[in-house]
Structure 1
Amino acid sequence: MKFSKQISGYESELTKFIAELKQKNPQLEAQQLAGRALLWDKAPIDLDSRQRTQDSRVAQQPYVYQNNH
């Protein structure tokens, strides 16, 4: 919502800082996208291989440090 007496030319210090940072380092956005792709953007899950992986798991003992010998 825009008020009638709102100053339209105002730019915060944070906005100025980010604009200056992008100007000094033009490849910054590409680096951010590469980092996001590395950590967050994952390939779709193949449901068949996921089911095979779950079926092939060996059940773990309730207390892993206890030997059955």
Structure 2
Amino acid sequence: MYQSDITQFLNQLKEQKPTLEAEQRQGRALLWDKAPTDLDERARQQASKVEQTPYVYYQNF
């Protein structure tokens, strides 16, 4: 059965480092998988937001 070079490389990598997928999942959980915020917390965050000027590099005080 034909396997591309990339598939062969990935299979070899997984054989050499069997913990690779678990490490990738830990990294994803660290950066991306966040617990959802409740509605009260979200409303509080939106209410405390500071209005940003249209052009942030020019502040006309």
TM-score range, shorter chain: 0.7 to 0.9
Identify the structure with the greater helix proportion.
2
Out of 2, 6, 19, which is 1:10 matched to? 2
Name stretches of at least 5 consecutive residues in structure 1 with no aligned partner.
1-8
Provide the TM-score with structure 1 as the length reference.
Answer: 0.65
- Percent of residue pairs bearing the same amino acid type: 54
- CA shift, 1:36, in A, is 1.1
| Alignment match, 1:51 | 43
Aligned to 1:25: 17
* Unaligned 5+ runs, structure 2: none
CA RMSD of aligned residues (A): 2.1
TM-score of the pair, normalised by structure 2 = 0.72
Question: Highest Rg: 1 or 2?
Answer: 1
